[in-house]
Structure 1
Amino acid sequence: MKYSGQVLYSLSGVAVLFSALSCSGKKEKSATPYNIVYIMTDDHTAQMMSCYDTRYMNTPNLDRIAADGVRFTNSFVANSLSGPSRACMITGKHSHANGFTDNTTCAFDSSQQTMPKLLRKAGYQTALVGKWHLESLPSGFDYWEILPGQGDYYNPDFIRMNNDTVQRRGYVTNLITDIGINWLENERDETKPFAIFLHHKAVHRDWLPEIKNLSLYEDKIFPLPDNFFDDYNGRLAAAAQEMSIAEDMDIIYDLKMLAVGKESRLKSVYEQIIGRMTPEERKAWDHFYDPIIQDFYSRKLSGKELAEWKFQRYMRDYMKVVKSLDDNVGRILDYLDKKGLLENTLIVYTSDQGFYMGEHGWFDKRFMYEESMRTPLIMRLPKDFDKKGDISQLVQNIDYAPTFLDLAGVPVPEDMQGISLLPLLKGENPKNWRKSLYYHFYEYPAEHAVKRHYGVRTDKYKLIHFYNDIDAWELYDLEKDPTEMHNVFDDPEYGKVVDFMNRELVRLQKQYNDTFALSLNKFMME
C-alpha cells in the first residue's frame, strides 16, 4: 500500500454513496450515484467550532463545509456516550433497540442489520477507518482498519482486516486521514459509488496535541462560563456527578503536570500514554511542559484559583487537538476537490456527542443537558441540491442511517426508528416533522457517576427522569433558562407543561418500544 508520509493503519472512514436523487423535482436526476464521506469525531462540541460559536477558536476548514452547504442548528444524540452513539448511527435505532446501551456491559451485535451492510448490498463500496469502539470487529465494510478501544494519540496501534495489530509512527489524526485518502486513491473500485467513514479519536480525553502544536494558544485567556461555579441547587443527579474540573480533572493524566514525587489517581495511565512517544517527541514534550510544571507546583494553588487554572489549561489542550482535526478536514476537502469528486459527494461532519467546556463546572458528557445532548452536524451537499444555510428542525443521530439509504435509493427498513433528512436537504419544510426527541442514558455505576436517566426534549422544554438508585424529575424551560440552572418540575406554574411533556414522553416510549423505561414512569398516563 502507498501512504502519504508515515501512516498508521486505522479504521477507514466509510465513504457512503448517495443515490441519484435530485434536490428538487424541477431538476434532472444525477446520472451517477452520490458518494458519501462521513467524518465523525469524538467529543467535539459545537462550542469549539467557529461556524457555531466564535467565542473560542477558529476552525476554517470545518467552516468551509458549513459555508458551502448546510448547518443543523438543532442536532442531538440519543445517548451521549461514544459506543452507544455509534451504534445508534449505523443502525438508525435507539440504544434499547440496537442492544448496545453502554460501554461496559456488552459487545455490539455485528450480525444485526446496519446501514453500511445495506449500502454494500446495494452496490456501494464501503470503508471504515479509525475509532470503532463497539467491542466487536466491524462488519458490512469492504475495507476497515480500526483503533483498539479508545486508541492512542501517539504512534498508535491499528487492527487490520486480517485481525493482526500493527503500530504505526505518527499522530493519530494525521494517520486516519492518510489511510482514508490512500483508500480513496489506491484501494477503492472506481466503478462503484463509495461510502467512507472516517472516525477520529480526536477530540477525546486526555487531549494530547500534535507535537508541532504544543505552543499554540498559550497566550489565550478564556472567560469562565457564567455557571462554572454551579451549586446544583434542586438537581440531585447533577450534584452527585464526578466530572467536575475542580474536583475530578486529574492533575497529571488530564493536565500533564507530571513531576517527581507527585501522585494522582491516573498517573500510571498517563505514563503509559506518553511512553509511546519517540525520544525526539518526548524531548520536545518535556521542553514545553517542564517550565509549566515547575511554575504550577511553585504556586501551590487551591480552591477557586486552582479550578480556574485547570480550566485554562483544559481549554488550551482541547483547542490544540481541534487544530489538527480541522487541518485534516481541510486535507480531505482538498483531495476531493483535486480529484473532481466534490460535486457528486455528500460530505458530513459530526461528532458522537457534545462536551462540556466548563459549563456547570464540568468536562465530559453523558447528561441529557444541552452541551452533551447537542452535537454539531454540517453537510456539504452535491451539486443537485440547492439548500444552503441553517436547518432548524429537530434531528438526531438515529436519522443518519435512513438518510444515507434514502439518498442511495435503498428502501429504508421499517424497523429503523430514525427519519430521513432528505426532505430537509431538498429545502422542504415538512409540516409533520417531529416535534420532540427521546433520550436514554444507561451507564451507571461507572466513570463520572452520572445517574441513569431518560427524557424528552421539545423546542421549548426538556423533561428528565433520573432513576435506578434515585427517583428525581427535572423540567427546564429552555427559552427562559437555556443553561438549565432552574429545575421547575415542582413549580405550580408549570403544572400543565409537566402534564404535556410527560404525555409526550410516554408517547415516544411507546413509539420506540422502550418498555423498560415506560414501566418506570410513575406518572404514566393512558
Structure 2
Amino acid sequence: MMKPKLHHIYFFAICILLISCEKPKKKEVERPNILYIMADDHAVQAISAYGHPISKLAPTPNIDRIAKAGVLFTANYCANSICGPSRASILTGKHSHANGFMQNNNEGFDGSQATLAKIFRENGYQTSLIGKWHLVSEPTGFDHWQILNDQGEYNNPDFVTSKDTVKISGYVTDIITELTVDWLDQRDPEKPFFLMMQHKAPHRSWIPAERHYNLYDDVEFPVPNNYFDDYEGRFAAANQEMNVYRDMFEGHDLKLSIERGVDSLRFDPWSHVFFGRMTPEEIEKFWDAYREKNDAYFEIDPSDSVSIAEWKLQRYLQDYLAVIKAVDESVGKILDYLEENDLVDNTLVVYTTDQGFYLGEHGWFDKRFMYEESFIMPTLMQYPGKIEAGISIPHLTQNIDFAPSFLDICGIAIPGDMHGASFKPLLFGGLAADWRSSIYYHYYEFPGIHNVRAHYGVKEERYKLIYFYKEDIWELYDLQNDPTEMKNIYGNEGTEAISERLKTELRKLQDQYAVPDEHR
C-alpha cells in the first residue's frame, strides 16, 4: 500500500483546521412576538397621531410613539361596528356571518372554530389574553387568560379565570397593565408569544382614574359643525337613539347631580357598575372632584337648549378623554417594559380598538353606523427593522385582515377560509398594485339599544353605498365632496351609474364572502 506523501498530510491537516475555525452558521431569524393592545371605543379623533383638533387638546404621546417608530393606518375599517362582533372578526379573520357572532346579544362565540390564538399555539407560541373579552363564552386557544366579567367595571373590577372570579382593587386600566407586565415577567423566554392586552377603556360610562378627574376641566373642546344635525334625507340617522343631549343618561353618563349641592346622581340604570363598585372613600373623592363643576351646570338657563347641549358635549369629552389618558399611560409603561427587557426589535406591537366612535359628530356618541367616525378603526404598528419608521398606509384595510397578516408576518400558513388578506406587503414596502379597492360592512343588531337600523354596504375610496335592508332604503355618499356624510345623493340625477356600479360591487363582495341569502 502506497504511503501518503508528506505534503498530502499537510494539505489535509490545513483543511481540517480551516473547517474547525469556520464561523458557525447564523441561526434563522426568530419568529417575532405579537403584542396586540386593544382599547374599546377609542375614536380616531382622540389619538393625536391622526391630527384631529380634539386630540391636539388631549394628546396621546405614548400611543403616538408607535406611529413614530412604525406605521399609521389611515383607512383601516371594521366589518361590523360593535364590540363583540368586531372582536370575533379579529380572532377569526372572517365576517360576522361566517364566524357566527353577529351581535352582542349572541348566545356566545363558537370557541371550537379556528382562531388566531389556537393557530399561534399550534405553532409553538405562548398565548395570553388579559382584559376585556366580551364574547360571552370562555376563551379558547389561550395558555393563560384573565378577563373582565362581561363589560367589566372601571373601579375595583372582577376578573374571571378558568378557576374563579376575583375582585381586584384599583382602576381597571392600571390593573390590566400590571397583570400584563406580571405575565411577561413569568412567561417562558424560550418561546415567542402572542399576547392580547385588551382594555375596557374608554367604553361608556367614561369614569376617569381618580388622578384624572379634573384633567380637562379647563379645556374647551371644539364642537363639531354637524353637532345639531337635522338628518335631512337620512331615515336611519333621524331615528337613532344615541344623541348626546337627548339620549345620554344624565347620571350614569354625564355624572350630573339631581340638584345643586346634592351629592346624588341623576338617572343611572346601571348604578351597580358605578358607585356600586366604589368604596365610601372613593365615592367621597369622586364628589370632591365633581361637586363644584356640577353646580356650574345649574347656572345655565333651563330654557337655553343650545347651551345645555353644548355643556353636555363638553362634559362627555372631558371624561372620555380623561379616561384615554390612563390608556396612553398604560401604553407608555408597556413600551418602556419592552425597551428595558430587550424585546423591542423582535416584537410586533399593535395598537387598535374594536371600532370607531362618535365624539359629537351628528350629535352622537356610540358607534354602529357605517358612517366614517364609527366605521374607521385607529390602527398603529411598530416592528423596528422590518417596518419603516414614520410611514402611513392609506390603502383600504379591515379588521378581518389582522389574523392573516399576523400569521403571514410570523411565517405561519394562512387558513384558506379566512376572508381577510395579509397586508404584510404594505407593511414591508412591497408592491400593492393588486390591493383591494372596496370593502364590505354589515351591522345586524336591530332591534337593539340605540335603535340603529340593520344595514350593509360597500365603501370605495371616494364613494360609499349603504342599504338599510329592512326598510328598503339606500344611501349614497361622495366622501370627496361630502366627508362628513350630510348629503345622501342616492337617486339624484347624474348618480345612477355610480349607484349601479356600487350595487354590482356589493353583490360581488357578498358572493366572495358567501353571505347567505337571508342576510342580503
Structure-1-length-normalised TM-score:
0.90
Gapped regions of structure 1 (runs ≥ 5): 1-27, 521-526
Answering whether residue 504 of structure 2 is matched by residue 477 of structure 1, we say: no
Tell me, in whole angstroms, the C-alpha distance in 1 between the residues paired with 2:120 and 2:88: 16
- Indicate the residue corresponding to 2:454 in structure 1: 452
Tell me, in whole angstroms, the C-alpha distance in 1 between the residues paired with 2:360 and 2:189: 46
Answering whether residue 492 of structure 2 is matched by residue 491 of structure 1, we say: yes
Identity %: 49
Q: CA deviation at 1:30?
A: 5.8
**Residues 264 and 232 of structure 1: CA distance in aligned 2, closer, same or farther (over 3 Å):** farther
Q: Helix, strand or coil: the match of 1:500?
A: helix
2:398 is aligned, of 396, 406, 410, to 396
Answering whether residue 204 of structure 2 is matched by residue 212 of structure 1, we say: no
2:43 is aligned, of 42, 45, 49, to 45
- Give the letter for the 1:59 counterpart: T
The size of the alignment, in residue pairs, is 489
Tell me, in whole angstroms, the C-alpha distance in 2 between the residues paired with 1:105 and 1:33: 36
After superposition, the CA RMSD in angstroms is 1.7
Q: CA deviation at 1:387?
A: 6.0
The 8 Å contact of residues 69 and 389 in structure 2, kept in 1 or not, is answered as no
Tell me, in whole angstroms, the C-alpha distance in 2 between the residues paired with 1:403 and 1:276: 39
The 8 Å contact of residues 509 and 517 in structure 1, kept in 2 or not, is answered as no
Specify the structure having the higher radius of gyration (Cα). 2
- Indicate the residue corresponding to 1:90 in structure 2: 91
Answering whether residue 82 of structure 2 is matched by residue 81 of structure 1, we say: yes
Q: CA deviation at 1:421?
A: 1.2
Tell me, in whole angstroms, the C-alpha distance in 2 between the residues paired with 1:197 and 1:272: 24
- Indicate the residue corresponding to 1:69 in structure 2: 70
Q: CA deviation at 1:517?
A: 5.9
Tell me, in whole angstroms, the C-alpha distance in 2 between the residues paired with 1:233 and 1:45: 25
Tell me, in whole angstroms, the C-alpha distance in 2 between the residues paired with 1:172 and 1:264: 22
Tell me, in whole angstroms, the C-alpha distance in 2 between the residues paired with 1:398 and 1:49: 22
The 8 Å contact of residues 263 and 287 in structure 2, kept in 1 or not, is answered as no
**Residues 216 and 387 of structure 1: CA distance in aligned 2, closer, same or farther (over 3 Å):** closer
* 1:275-424 paired onto structure 2 within 5 Å: 275-302=276-303, 303-386=305-388, 388-424=390-426
- Indicate the residue corresponding to 1:3 in structure 2: none
* 1:81-120 paired onto structure 2 within 5 Å: 81-120=82-121
Tell me, in whole angstroms, the C-alpha distance in 2 between the residues paired with 1:480 and 1:389: 26
Deviating above 4 A after TM superposition, structure 1's stretches of 4 or more consecutive aligned residues are 260-266
1:33 is aligned, of 31, 34, 42, to 31
Tell me, in whole angstroms, the C-alpha distance in 1 between the residues paired with 2:144 and 2:325: 28
The 8 Å contact of residues 121 and 142 in structure 2, kept in 1 or not, is answered as yes
| Range moving further from structure 2, 336-345 or 253-262 | 253-262
The 8 Å contact of residues 71 and 388 in structure 2, kept in 1 or not, is answered as no
CA deviation string 1:410-457 (max 9, x = no partner): 110110000011111111232110000000000011110000000000
Tell me, in whole angstroms, the C-alpha distance in 2 between the residues paired with 1:373 and 1:395: 12
- Indicate the residue corresponding to 2:170 in structure 1: 170
The 8 Å contact of residues 46 and 53 in structure 1, kept in 2 or not, is answered as no
The 8 Å contact of residues 70 and 387 in structure 2, kept in 1 or not, is answered as no
Q: CA deviation at 1:47?
A: 0.3
- Give the letter for the 1:197 counterpart: M
- Give the letter for the 1:299 counterpart: I
Tell me, in whole angstroms, the C-alpha distance in 2 between the residues paired with 1:127 and 1:262: 42
Tell me, in whole angstroms, the C-alpha distance in 2 between the residues paired with 1:515 and 1:384: 40
The 8 Å contact of residues 126 and 142 in structure 1, kept in 2 or not, is answered as yes
The 8 Å contact of residues 66 and 382 in structure 2, kept in 1 or not, is answered as yes
- Indicate the residue corresponding to 1:203 in structure 2: 202
Q: CA deviation at 1:281?
A: 1.7
- Give the letter for the 1:53 counterpart: G
CA deviation string 1:168-214 (max 9, x = no partner): 0000000001001100012x111100010000000100100000111
- Indicate the residue corresponding to 2:151 in structure 1: 150
| Range moving further from structure 2, 364-373 or 407-416 | 407-416
- Give the letter for the 1:49 counterpart: I
- Indicate the residue corresponding to 1:8 in structure 2: none
- Give the letter for the 2:228 counterpart: F
Q: CA deviation at 1:277?
A: 1.3
The 8 Å contact of residues 465 and 475 in structure 2, kept in 1 or not, is answered as yes
- Indicate the residue corresponding to 1:25 in structure 2: none
- Give the letter for the 1:471 counterpart: D
Tell me, in whole angstroms, the C-alpha distance in 2 between the residues paired with 1:29 and 1:221: 56
Tell me, in whole angstroms, the C-alpha distance in 2 between the residues paired with 1:220 and 1:157: 33
- Give the letter for the 2:294 counterpart: I
Q: CA deviation at 1:265?
A: 8.7
Tell me, in whole angstroms, the C-alpha distance in 1 between the residues paired with 2:241 and 2:350: 33
Q: Helix, strand or coil: the match of 1:247?
A: helix
Q: CA deviation at 1:499?
A: 0.9
Q: CA deviation at 1:322?
A: 0.6
Structure-2-length-normalised TM-score:
0.91
The 8 Å contact of residues 387 and 425 in structure 1, kept in 2 or not, is answered as no
- Give the letter for the 1:236 counterpart: F
- Give the letter for the 2:357 counterpart: F
Q: Helix, strand or coil: the match of 2:464?
A: strand
- Give the letter for the 1:422 counterpart: K
Answering whether residue 228 of structure 2 is matched by residue 229 of structure 1, we say: yes
- Give the letter for the 2:469 counterpart: Y
Q: Helix, strand or coil: the match of 2:79?
A: coil
The 8 Å contact of residues 387 and 427 in structure 1, kept in 2 or not, is answered as no
Tell me, in whole angstroms, the C-alpha distance in 2 between the residues paired with 1:89 and 1:517: 24
CA deviation string 1:311-369 (max 9, x = no partner): 01001001100100000000000000000000110000000000000000000000000
Q: Helix, strand or coil: the match of 1:508?
A: helix
- Give the letter for the 1:93 counterpart: K
CA deviation string 1:376-426 (max 9, x = no partner): 000011423436411111000000000111112111011000001111111
